[in-house]
């Protein structure tokens, strides 16, 4: 232990601050097993939540607790991706009711029920949030056990432990918990704040049958400002020996990362999970963090696309003409240039439909005269927990159904993005384009597929020369155009350069 402390003493203050996040991950990987349940109290953007999901696997469960509305909205999206993730948007304390929650002007991770003199944080606003105890909340989680809890709730940690006594006595989870020795809402004004907080912590821990350790393996008997993250272990667990065995390796691994736990490539050399965690936690907003996980889900989908199409009467099945790389490029373009919450129209249906639904759209309208294809899409999405809420399936031929949509869109254009990939012959492709163009919003995008066919290549050549359209993406046999004016119909032939030059 002296050797470990000597090594730790060489760390700079910044290294000591950052390494505790790394240590928590390291310990979690050695405690949590497939099928376990983990509770992430103060989930923030979900960096640790993600690691816990990898550790428990599909047979386990993770409960994320996050009262900050600016963070839990994004975590809710992850619940759609991971059916074994539950989100509770409450604050955990030692009471039931409602309290003001302080929203920071900057890093949302500093949101708190309290303003602390020990933290120089500027708060922009307050919102009312529900407050409860772990003992009251636990029955709603549907769990029978807890293997690990991570607690980081910006000053409410001691109150959380007071409201968790029954759960701790019954289920005996390991707990990594952040402590601010210089502050708790109940020690303000105390002559010796650190001692007051230690006495309260040790009393709560003793009553629950726990012991307090540093992450280096020392059992604490007094507050220690070198350690703002500690481990609470059941008395019956041999936590000291476990930590002492791991601590030296933890410090060496951390030093290999050049004093930063946020270096994704090097983390992957240490652990299969740290690289993903590091990249997520480097992101500055929950929206950016969310995009990492949304892309992860999308990549899993395109790596194993469902066989939805049959072109020989059902004897053989395939995933359609869109390859994984093709769908990735379309997905990335829409996410980058059109944005989430888009309204999307397609003539035809299949894996393109599922790819669009991965973008959290406002609306996806698919027109196809094959209701059984829609059934297969719906079955796949339900099995994979992909929301079908935005999907509108129209059973029919696009040349007859698009005029009906155009009638509804006569006053206001309806769509941000459209894919023309239905009937590929003349005049259908031009009929589809006529109505799709009419339905596009200003600066909306239209994608035309199978431009290797002459019927569709003619439309491509027309749009390439049309001043009101610009080609913004070329994916081999498909191209995407953005309409750069607000004219919903093409002008007379004399103002169509391709027609004029070839007449």
Residue 160, in any domain of the structure: yes
Same structural domain for residues 258 and 342? no
Same structural domain for residues 83 and 139? yes
CATH of the domain at 181: 3.40.50.150
Q: Is the previous residue joined to 424 through a cis bond, with omega within 30 degrees of 0?
A: no
Residue 114, in any domain of the structure: no
SS (H, E, C) 134-198: HHHHHHHHCCCCCCEEEECCCCCHHHHHHCCHHHHHHHCCEEEEECCCCCCCCCCCCCCHHHHHH
Same structural domain for residues 286 and 239? yes
How would you write the pLDDT of the chain (503 residues) with one tens digit per residue? 455 555 555 655 555 555 667 677 777 888 888 899 999 999 887 878 888 887 888 889 999 999 988 888 778 877 877 889 999 999 999 999 998 888 887 767 777 887 765 566 777 788 899 999 999 999 999 999 999 999 988 878 888 999 999 999 999 999 998 887 766 665 544 556 788 888 888 889 999 999 988 777 778 888 776 667 888 999 898 877 777 666 666 665 554 444 443 333 333 334 434 444 444 443 434 444 445 556 777 888 999 999 999 988 889 999 998 899 999 999 999 988 987 778 999 999 999 999 999 887 889 999 999 999 999 999 998 888 787 888 999 999 999 999 998 886 566 678 999 999 988 888 889 999 999 999 999 899 999 999 999 999 999 999 999 999 999 999 988 999 999 988 888 989 889 999 989 98
Domain stops at, among 260, 295, 330: 295
Same structural domain for residues 308 and 282? no
Same structural domain for residues 290 and 319? no
Token pair 């066919």 in the structure block, residue? 453
Give the separation between CA 393 and CA 90, rounded to whole angstroms: 37
Rg (CA), the chain: 28
Same structural domain for residues 35 and 64? yes
Nearest to 150 by CA among 32, 284, 247, 290: 32
Nearest to 373 by CA among 348, 390, 346: 348
Question: How many C-beta neighbours within 10 Å does residue 477 have?
Answer: 15
CB 218 within 8 A of CB 241: no
Domain stops at, among 254, 269, 295: 295
Residue 48, in any domain of the structure: yes
Question: How many C-beta neighbours within 10 Å does residue 501 have?
Answer: 8
Residue 103, in any domain of the structure: no
Residue 245, in any domain of the structure: yes
Same structural domain for residues 429 and 285? no
Same structural domain for residues 264 and 362? no
Token pair 């629950």 in the structure block, residue? 208
Residue 113, in any domain of the structure: no
Residue 99, in any domain of the structure: no
Residue 391, in any domain of the structure: yes
Structural domain of 497: 304-501
Same structural domain for residues 241 and 308? no
Nearest to 159 by CA among 118, 123, 113: 113
Same structural domain for residues 444 and 349? yes
Nearest to 351 by CA among 421, 426, 258: 421
Quote the number of domains for the chain. 2
> What's the pTM value of the predicted model, to 2 decimals?
0.55
Same structural domain for residues 45 and 189? yes
Domain stops at, among 295, 313, 330: 295
Same structural domain for residues 283 and 261? yes
């Amino acid at each position: 232990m002296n050797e470990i402390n000597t090594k730790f003493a060489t760390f700079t203050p910044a290294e000591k601050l950052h390494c505790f996040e790394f240590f928590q991950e390291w310990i979690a990987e050695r405690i949590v097993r497939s099928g376990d349940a983990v509770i992430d109290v103060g989930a923030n953007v979900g960096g640790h939540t993600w690691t816990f999901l990898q550790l428990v696997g599909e047979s386990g469960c993770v409960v994320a607790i996050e009262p900050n509305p600016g963070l839990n909205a994004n975590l809710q999206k992850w619940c759609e991706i991971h059916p074994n993730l539950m989100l509770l948007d409450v604050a955990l304390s030692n009471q039931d009711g409602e309290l003001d929650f302080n929203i920071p002007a900057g890093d949302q991770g500093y949101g708190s029920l309290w303003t602390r003199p020990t933290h120089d944080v500027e708060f922009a606003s307050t919102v009312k949030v529900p407050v409860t105890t772990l003992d009251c909340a636990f029955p709603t989680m549907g769990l029978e056990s807890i293997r690990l809890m991570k607690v980081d709730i910006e000053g409410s940690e001691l109150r959380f432990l007071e409201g968790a006594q029954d759960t701790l006595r019954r289920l005996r989870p390991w707990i990594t918990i952040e402590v601010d020795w210089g502050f708790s809402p109940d020690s303000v004004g105390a002559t010796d704040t650190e001692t007051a907080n230690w006495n309260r912590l040790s009393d709560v821990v003793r009553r629950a049958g726990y012991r307090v350790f540093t992450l280096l393996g020392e059992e604490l008997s007094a507050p220690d400002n070198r350690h703002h993250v500690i481990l609470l272990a059941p008395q019956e667990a041999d936590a000291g020996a476990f930590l002492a065995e791991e601590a030296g390796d933890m410090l060496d691994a951390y030093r290999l990362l050049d004093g930063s736990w946020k270096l994704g490539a090097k983390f992957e050399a240490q652990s299969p999970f740290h690289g993903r965690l590091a990249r997520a936690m480097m992101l500055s907003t929950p929206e950016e963090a969310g995009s990492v996980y949304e892309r992860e889900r999308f990549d899993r989908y395109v790596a194993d696309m469902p066989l939805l199409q049959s072109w020989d009467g059902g004897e053989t099945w395939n995933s359609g003409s869109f390859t994984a790389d093709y769908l990735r490029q379309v997905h990335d373009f829409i996410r980058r240039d059109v944005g989430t919450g888009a309204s999307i129209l397609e003539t035809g249906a299949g894996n393109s439909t599922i790819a669009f639904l991965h973008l959290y759209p406002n609306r996806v309208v698919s027109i196809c005269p094959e209701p059984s294809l829609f059934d297969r899409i719906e079955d796949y999405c339900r099995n994979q927990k992909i929301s079908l809420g935005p999907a509108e399936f129209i059973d029919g031929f696009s040349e007859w159904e698009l005029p009906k949509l155009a009638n509804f869109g006569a006053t206001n254009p309806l769509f941000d993005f459209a894919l023309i990939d239905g009937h590929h012959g003349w005049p259908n492709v031009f009929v589809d384009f006529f109505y799709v163009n009419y339905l596009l919003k200003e600066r909306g995008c239209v994608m035309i597929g199978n431009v290797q066919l002459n019927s569709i290549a003619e439309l491509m050549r027309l749009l390439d020369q049309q001043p009101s359209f610009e080609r913004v993406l070329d994916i081999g046999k498909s191209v995407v155009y953005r309409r750069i004016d607000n004219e919903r119909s093409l002008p007379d032939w004399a103002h169509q350069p391709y027609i004029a030059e070839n007449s």
